[in-house]
Amino acid sequence: GAVVSQHPSRVICKSGTSVKIECRSLDFQATTMFWYRQFPKQSLMLMATSNEGSKATYEQGVEKDKFLINHASLTLSTLTVTSAHPEDSSFYICSARDLGGLTYEQYFGPGTRLTVT
Amino acid sequence: GEDVEQSLFLSVREGDSSVINCTYTDSSSTYLYWYKQEPGAGLQLLTYIFSNMDMKQDQRLTVLLNKKDKHLSLRIADTQTGDSAIYFCAESIRTGTASKLTFGTGTRLQVTL
């Protein structure tokens, strides 16, 4: 159980376009999902916390108008990178917290590699 | 502060024990976690420890927590080639009604024959 999927797994887009990444909890409900980005050989940096039915909470230094987050249901959160530029190329990972979980455990998706050309 | 630090690289021989260390600075951590990341993949939770525990053992994995020194370690017994990956420690910190994870810098474990 506790599977989180992401779609797409890889995406290449041109500079100036927008890209949407989906994060789904497949077998549990998640009121809270998290979006991270990871640069090569570096750690995960939390970008924002996504709460179902309310606005996302962004970490300091993350542009909320550039990284749009929507958490419309208990099983789906989306991250849209708007007007992407090459410096946005990164590995984006989402995680979800099980509503019924006891340990505040986060289950991670497999990640989405974004390349902006 | 929320800095979580790890050594960057560890090389061990197959069959030996591996010990990966982590230091953190926020004493209000509730849970501390160890995650494994294989190349190009997401994170797999290996184990976790509640902040009021000193030790937790789970099959080949032993977690030691020294809360006074803010030091966490992960010991992998009988290390196998399939254990080669990057290992991240993470601390869970409550901020208001929410809690979030802060990850360490990651330790790349290389297992040699």
pLDDT range class, residue A52, cuts 50, 70, 90: confident
Mutate to test the interface with A, among B4, B30, B36, B45 (most CBs of A within 10 A): B45
Give the residue from chain A lying closest to B105, CA to CA: A43
Q: What is the mean pLDDT of chain A?
A: 91
Order the strands of the A67-73 sheet from edge to edge. Answer: A4-7, A19-25, A76-81, A67-73
In the chain, the amino acid numbered B62 is: T
Predicted local distance difference test score (pLDDT) of residue A13: 96
The mean per-residue pLDDT over the stretch B63-81 comes to 96
Locate the DSSP E strands across chain A: 4-7, 10-13, 19-25, 32-38, 44-51, 57-58, 67-73, 76-81, 90-97, 106-108, 112-116
Q: Which has the closest alpha carbon to B87: B55, B109, B62?
A: B109
Nearest neighbour of A43 by CB, restricted to B88, B99, B100: B88
Alpha-carbon gap: A105 to the closest alpha carbon of chain B (Å): 9
pLDDT range class, residue A101, cuts 50, 70, 90: low
pLDDT at B95 over 80: no
pLDDT range class, residue A1, cuts 50, 70, 90: low
Predicted local distance difference test score (pLDDT) of residue B56: 95
Predicted local distance difference test score (pLDDT) of residue B2: 56
pLDDT range class, residue B1, cuts 50, 70, 90: very low
Alpha-carbon gap: A70 to the closest alpha carbon of chain B (Å): 18
Chain B segment 63-92 residues within 8 A of A by beta carbon are 88, 92
Alpha-carbon gap: A22 to the closest alpha carbon of chain B (Å): 15
